[in-house]
Every structure is written in structure tokens, then in C-alpha cells.
Chains A and B, each alone.
Chain A
Amino acid sequence: MSGGFSLGFLSRVYSPQFDPKVYRDTLELFRVAEELGFDSGWVAQHHFASELGRLPAPLVLLAAIAQRTRHISLGTGIVVLPQEVPLRLAEDAAVLDLLSNGRLELGLGAGFDPETFLAFGRAHEARHRDYEQHLQQLRNALGNAPLTDSGSRLLPRASGLSHRLWEATSRVEQVAERGHGLIMAPNPQLPAEAGIELVNRYRSAWTGDNGTPARVARVQALLPAPDDATRRDIQAYVQRQHRIGVLKDEPEADFDTTLKRLGVLHGPVEQIIEQLQQGPALTAQDQLILQVQTISTPLREAIRTLEIIREHIAPALGWQSTGTL
């Protein structure tokens, strides 16, 4: 890797039981990450605590975080678009972008959890169609198109936010055609090299029509020292993914094989750096987004991992802090 890249972290706002403290901890993690010079922080959306993710309203939490931070970009990784009212999402995103001085990075996905689709009264098998429809409406609103017969438009206007949309999908040509960023996480169904192939396809399909460069956000989970609790978290996660049909094959018994399959980087720092170097090359427009928590990771341990990334891992990959600290 050369030329640097943006460094981010991802929190799935996990917690074994709900406690409002999980939001305060996430806020604190953003504050610490900003101090350490991280360029971005991303939060995931989970409905009905699927996977024990505790945050169904990422933009609400990010609005609070915007008050406690000044520079760090505020990302969603991701919002489940088929389950949103697209115009309401556009409004919320536009307001958050103003509250945060243009720091929002809006990541979108189609979702996968069958149970939550049932709860929202939406057909799971129609989620890609709904995703496309809602994305069209969202882009329309953000692009300041008239939305009523009398010509009313989105208010507040979302200037610039159209260029900060990201999609997490394997349909990378469509993402490129729309001029959006690509969020790429390891796909356990595919060999590790598949990620490089996807990024290459995305970059070659990029038209640049909207005047912005292609941008890739590479998401990886990273566990420098997985302990027994972490092992249990990961095994429970794998079993659930298998149960709801996201993971097709039987889970492996061997922990290292499981981690490898999930793309969870682990082991000594040198080994983690090496594994990261093997992924798709990142440019100055790209992001490396590291997830440092499983269900039971305490805040201080997550902070410790951010520090290790800041001190040892990111610089070895060519990252340079652009922070003002």
C-alpha cells in the first residue's frame, strides 16, 4: 500500500444484554478514536437486537456523537435500506450532515436477517428490489429533485451528501455506475482472493461521471489476542449465521479455521500486518475500517486495540495521521 488511506473503526454496538451504557461506551470510543487520529468511525444498524447488536437507530446515536467530536467522519456500516422510509432517511441524513458539519458517510445495504424482514412486514426475497427502489428515492431526494406536484424539495438541502454514499453489495458494477463508494467485508462463502477481484471489477467499472474518484472501504475484524470469551462470541455468531442460512456450510470445529474463513485477523501484530497487506491495495480515497469488538469486549480492551492499530499496524501499512492534534 502506498499514498496513505483513511483509517476507521467499526462498532456493531454489541452487548450481551441491553444497558444504556453501551451507547455511552460507543460515544467514548469515537472520542478516543478521534484523539488517536482515526479518520472515521462507523456504526452498524441492527433491528430487534439481531446478533446482539444493540443499535437500531444509528443516525440518532451519531447525532449525539457529533456533539462530542469535531473532525472524525461519522459512518453507517450499514443502514438496512429496504426497512427504511427512504424520504425519512434522506431527511435524517441531511439534518445529521448539518449537525456534524458535513461529516456523515452514509453506508447502505440490503440486509439479510429473515426474522426482521418479517417484523417489518417486508418480503425477505424482495429485499434487493426494495433496496433498488428505496435507493432511487433516496438519491432523488438528496439530489434536490422536486418531490411533490407543487415542486417541494428536501429540506434541509443535502449538498455534497450524494458524494458520500456507500453500498455494501457484491453487485459492484452497479455501485460504480451510480458513483458510490464500495464497502467490502470478507465473504465467508468465497475464498479470500475474491475481495481483490471484486475491487478490481468495481474500479474498472468506475466512470467518474460525478466528478469523484472511486472509493473502497475495506472492513476487517481484528483481534490481536482472542481470549475464551471472544472464542465463545465468535462460535455463537457462526452458529447463528448458519441457522438463518447466511452461512451455507457446517461451521468448522477448529477455531483458527473459523477465524480465517470469517476473515477475522488475529495473532501477533506482524502477522496481522501481513494479512492486511495481502488484501486489495488501498489509495488515498479508500478506507480501512477495523472492527475491534465482539459481543463481550470491554471498552478498555477496544480502546487498547485502537491504540495498537494507531501505533503499530496502520503506520506499517502506509497510513499517516492527518489529524490536527
Chain B
Amino acid sequence: MTFKLGFLSHAFGDDPQQVYRDLIEQFEVAEALGFDGGWIAQHHLSNGFGLLPSPLLLLAAVAERTRHIELGTGVIVLPFEDPIRLAEDASVLDALSGGRVQLGLGSGGANLDNFTAFDRDPGRRQADFAERQQRVQHLVEGKPLIGDLTLQPPAPGLSSRLWHSHGSIDGAVYAAEQGNGLLLGTATHDPLTVQKPLADAYLQAWSRTDRAPRIGVVRAIFPAANRASAQAELAVDIERHIPRLQREGLIDEAVDLQEHLRLMNVHHGHPDEVIESLRQDPSLLPYADYVIAVVQAESSTQAQILKRLEILARDIAPALGWKKR
């Protein structure tokens, strides 16, 4: 089976303006390499690690610089958004980009510290998510809100390009019931014991006949000349994340870099090693309609990022069955 190939950026860096310029360039390069899509994560306020709270604005800039590549959010923290304003922003971007938006939504599990700033209760985030996602969906489907008011501009087709990120079986089933795509791997969940059951539950719960289920799988993929150089490039950034991941219960106490990379599911090494490692990933190729690669860690340089995108599109993805557009 084949899949779409995308990349996901967390907009890491020190200088936001430079980070935004680099991101735009990454989309231009990815489009030239044949990538089907680029996805951007949303990070709020100064306590996080990404520098971009407004992915749809950056994607509007990208839309002017590109022609084909899909413009994804992976993900927008829905409890912080007014659903009408979000639907409006997304539909304007969709009109500007010729229908290229892929709108990924999440409930903010990685943003618990920021709920008070947005006047939201983290305990209500699942309820907020469902209520707002249904409102967004209602609007993009062109259904009237009150009286005969409908979303303007209309967003034909966008309702079949909505995605949910969920970490629970209930959530995965809910995404299927809503007829939306499922994004896996946006948090560091174990591919075999957590992600695979989510994917199975999602597919089993799918009942729509007018469209197919779709699963997007996010994976950290760091190809390099060999395993040692890939690890050298990653070491600093991996160690930086250990305390947070332990705190969030996503990994157990671990011993060394090798073990960290394995637990964090970072596919790295020579392209042949990466291909083999991706083939063995239990919740990737058997499920993915969209393989979404994270190729940037905090201290990655733009040159490293562009090089990894190139290796991915040229050497790795074709070996796994990806067909360039």
C-alpha cells in the first residue's frame, strides 16, 4: 500500500523571525522534493518549546510561496480557540491555497500549564474539545448556525480534511464516529502497546461509507551518514527531553542514549537502517495513510533539516512504497 509523505515542524529555534523564514523555506524545499504535505504544531506562550502559536498564519504565508503541498496543523489546541473564528481562519486559508488545508485538532494535553491564560479549565478539556470540534465541523459542512447564517467563506471539502489527535481508545473511537482522520504519534506513545490498539479501535469503529478512514502517523526520522553521526546530532536534544517525558509518564526511567532513542521511537541512522527500522514499526506502515516525519530537534540547523528532508524523499520513502506526486 502507498501513503502520503509529510513532515511536521514544532518551530524550534531561538529567534522566532528566523524560525518562520526557515519554515517557509522548508515548505518550498519539501514541495520541490515531492512531499505531499507539511504540518506545523501549535505552541502557546513562553514556557513551551516551539515558537509558533499561529500555524494558520504561517501557512497563509507558505500558501503564497508554494502551489501543491498540503498545509497541515499538527495540532491546534482546540479548547483555546473560538470555533467560529477557527473555522473562518481555516476556510480563508483553504480559499487562498486552493483547498490545501489539513486541519489537525487536539485537546491540549501537552499544554496543561497554559489553560488558565486562556480562561479554560484543563479538567474540562475533553468536553471542550468535543463541543468545539462539533461546532467547527458543523460550520465547515456549511450547515446554518442561527437563522440562515452559514460559514463565510464556505469551505467546500474541508470537512473531509479534519483530523483528531487522541491518546485514548475512547478518543480514537470518537474520531471514527465523527468521520475524521486520526493522528498518531503526536505525543510519545509506545507504537506497539498504545498506538496500535488506538489504530485498531479507530478502524473498527469506522462506519462511514461515503469516505474512507485515514490515519496519519507522526514519526521522528533522523537519517544521517551512519548511526553514530545520527546519534551525535541528536544527543543534546534527547537528553533535554528526558525529565519532561518522565514527568508526563511517557517514558520510564531510562539508562542511556540508545535506550532513550528506542523508547522515544526515534528512527535514525544510515538510510538503510532507517528503512528497516520503519518497516518494523508496528503502527506505522500497516496503518499509515499519511507518514508525517519530524526531522527537526531543538538544536538542528536548517541545513540538517533540509538534508534530512531530501534523504527522506529520495532514499527512504520510495523504498517503503511512497509514490512521488
Contact = CB atoms under 8 A, between A and B. Distances in A.
Sorted from nearest, which 5 A-B pairs have the closest CB atoms? A56-B88, A156-B16, A91-B53, A67-B64, A63-B60
A23 B154 CA distance: 14
Q: Is the interface of B mostly helix, strand, loop or mixed?
A: helix
Interface in B52-89: 52-54, 56-58, 60-61, 63-65, 80-82, 84-85, 88-89
Contact of A155 (B16, B60, B92, B151): B16
A307 to B, nearest CB: 25
Contact of A60 (B46, B53, B93): B93
Given A63-B58, A92-B54, A152-B47, A57 B88 contact: yes
A154 B48 CA distance: 11
Nearest to B24: A67
Interface of A: 18, 20, 23, 46-49, 54-57, 59-61, 63-64, 66-68, 83-85, 87-88, 91-92, 94-96, 98-99, 115-116, 118-120, 147-156
A18 B118 contact: no
B147 A61 contact: no
Contacts of B300: none
Contacts of B254: none
Contact of A147 (B45, B52, B63): B45
A222 B55 CA distance: 37
B322 interface: no
Contact of A85 (B85, B95, B147, B150): B85
Given A48-B152, A60-B96, A156-B53, 20 more contacts: A20-B153, A48-B149, A48-B150, A56-B88, A63-B58, A83-B84, A85-B80, A87-B118, A88-B53, A88-B80, A91-B54, A92-B57, A95-B20, A96-B57, A115-B149, A147-B117, A153-B45, A155-B16, A155-B45, A156-B17
A61 B96 contact: yes
Nearest to B54: A95
A49 B44 CA distance: 30
Interface residues of B, number: 48
A152 to B, nearest CB: 4
Given A23-B92, A47-B88, A115-B149, A155 B61 contact: no
B152 A18 contact: yes
B146 interface: yes
Contacts of A57: 85, 88-89, 91-93
A148 B119 CA distance: 10
B114 interface: yes
A233 to B, nearest CB: 18
A99 B113 contact: no
Contacts of A56: 85, 88-89, 91-92, 152-153
A23 B95 contact: yes
A35 to B, nearest CB: 17
Given A91-B44, A96-B57, A18 B154 contact: yes
Contacts of A153: 45-46
Contacts of A85: 80-82, 85, 118
B184 interface: no
B45 A148 contact: yes
Contacts of A49: 152-153
B145 interface: yes
A60 B58 CA distance: 8
Nearest to B17: A98
B116 interface: yes
A149 B122 CA distance: 14
Contacts of A59: 57
B64 to A, nearest CB: 4
B72 to A, nearest CB: 16
B80 to A, nearest CB: 7
A122 B65 CA distance: 38
Contacts of B150: 48
B65 A67 contact: yes
A68 B154 CA distance: 25
Contacts of B30: none
A98 B96 contact: no
Contacts of B153: 18, 20, 49, 54, 56
A155 B82 contact: no
Nearest to A96: B57
B316 interface: no
6 contacts: A56-B88, A60-B92, A120-B82, A120-B84, A155-B43, A155-B48
Given A67-B64, A119-B84, A55 B92 contact: yes
B51 interface: yes
B46 A152 contact: yes
B26 to A, nearest CB: 15
Contacts of B149: 48, 115-116, 119
A60 B54 CA distance: 10
A150 B113 contact: yes
Contact of A98 (B20, B93, B146): B20
A83 B47 CA distance: 27
A155 B57 contact: no
B58 A95 contact: yes
Q: Kindly name the residue among B44, B81, B152 whose own CB sees the greatest number of chain A CB atoms within 10 A.
A: B152
A91 B11 CA distance: 15
Contacts of A152: 45-47, 113-114, 117
A66 B17 CA distance: 13
A136 B60 CA distance: 28
A98 B16 contact: yes
A20 B94 CA distance: 9
Contacts of B47: 148, 150-152
Contact of A95 (B57, B80, B98, B154): B57
